[in-house]
Structure 1
Amino acid sequence: MSFTVSTPPPSSPASGRDELVAFARESIARGSKSFAAASKLFDRTTRERVWLLYAWCRKCDDMADGQDHGGAMTEIADPHARLQAIRDLTARALQGEVTGEAAFDCLGIVARECGLTQKMADDVIEGFALDTAGWHPRHEGDLYRYCFHVAGAVGVMMAVVMGASPDDTETLDRACDLGLAFQLANIARDIAEDGRAGRCYIPDDWLAQLDIEPGEHLRPHNRKKLALIGRWLADEAGQYEASARIGAARLPFRARWAVLSAAGIYGDIARKVRAADDHAWDGRIFTSRAEKLQWVARAFQEAWRNDPPAMCRDGLWTRET
């Protein structure tokens, strides 16, 4: 296990780093209040780099889904062209070009500063490709692979930005687990919203197990069964969150504090879905400002003690599966 320690690179008019950091800061403030709150716990250099990486992730997501900072999805006339644009702009940014697209230029800066690779970015982009292809999980393993591409792979990149070595497989695997936990919580919370957009991330074998016909999971008579699926997703999210907490112990203190804060804040979404049972989709579940602050305080104590409970990962998915 090793960490890279570096000082903030000097700003220069040619790179426009300050302007891109300001752009990225606005992007995370608009796109994710939870992550924006957690990012304040980093040191300045790490915080700026997290913002820069987030701006790229947010822009790719918005381009793929026809959104504006995660808002309502709109129909895309040529989704494959959008996907190719994401690939092309990302490749150019990683090759050191100035693309003229702020979010991609943000990626270029943070990649050069931290050693992010094309493979790491490609793993994230594959998630957008799956959505563009109208992909749907047939089996539970398919669900986890999807969660890896849309969130776990982001966790890997974020861990490198926070100081983990790109060669520290164990730490990166646990960072991936946190992404899986986040995405499983997202899927549980957004079952109804995704269904209205024509998407379903519930594996076919789960639906078959509960005798739910494909495309019928949102029918009122299936609500009790859907609540059970929500519980399964929430429980799985909790397992990966617990595993991620073990990995966070390997991060520097302030990064550990931020990660544990985000884990608790986002983990509450899964826990609320579970508690709400068949009312989980009556309205959008979220964590309040007060709840976020409580988790920040609690995470400080956990980060200071740095003794996460041991757990057995047997049976949990890994990115090498």
Structure 2
Amino acid sequence: MAAFNLTPSDPSTFILMGIPGLEAAHLWISIPFCMFFFIGLLGNFMVLFVVGKEQTLHKPMYLLLCMLALTDIGMSTSVMPKALCIFWFNWKGITVDGCFTQMFFLHAVSVMKSAILVTMAFDRYVAIYNPLRYTTILTNARIAKLGLVGLTRAVLFILPLPLLLSRQPFCANRIIPHTYCEHIAVAKISCGDITVNRMYGLVMAFVVIGLDLMLIALSYGLVIRAVLRISSKKAHQKALNTCTAHICVILTTYASYLFSNLTHRFGQGIASNLHIILANLYFLIPPMLNPIIYGIKTKKLRDKVGKYIYRM
């Protein structure tokens, strides 16, 4: 009940407003949000369960799918529980430390997911360009090491965001017009100079995401070149089919991420409530769609999931 007694000037808390202007519709908005959230959790936990149980799936490609599922679970759970508390119970208060912790995790998991997508693109390149050496180049141990590198990179790049903000003064207005503690949304309510925060956030986004997109584009450029060297049309189709799921995941992930990130900085013409809804969908739609996409396009995974569903 303490959340109802918070004031905008309480020095120990911030207040998350949810979706300003649509407070009366919070309950209705929560219905699709909640549905997407639980479908995403169910699908990603199913992927983790099936791959963990099936020895035949203990291979690099499926290990990467498990990493992707973990980041999708981390993304949605870092945002949605608090958002649903705002929608259902009007619990808008969040401690300053809790806000910075949420900020760190949601941004770190996003950067980690980007690293996994790069590794998956490299996996497809090796599988098509040099299939005979695939099992020796990409072992489970090597994939685990690449995952650890991605995690280390995410922590090192994102840790300065809450650290820089923790040094900023926050005056009377401690109201964040959002459902979660997005970096720029929090920085904007500071009464200090946030130029460094803005520049670091922007540079980090473009360096990390820009570099990752370049590596993915390079991998697929080499994949296309390798495919064009194959004379059989059937082999063309088979090779490209192995990449379809990953390309769909890339499009859903990066399109929503870039839209959310750039509109926070440059989208003054976009209605704030529309932007906040779309920003939340970034944490809901890709985690919900990814296990469905891979379930449809990956026959081995689809068959194993079907086996466990029929047993229920």
TMscore range, shorter length: 0.3 to 0.5
Highest relative contact order (Cα 8 Å, sep 6+), 1 or 2? 2
Q: How does the TM-score come out when normalised to structure 2?
A: 0.35
Is the radius of gyration larger for structure 1 or structure 2?
2
Q: Which has the higher helix share?
A: 2
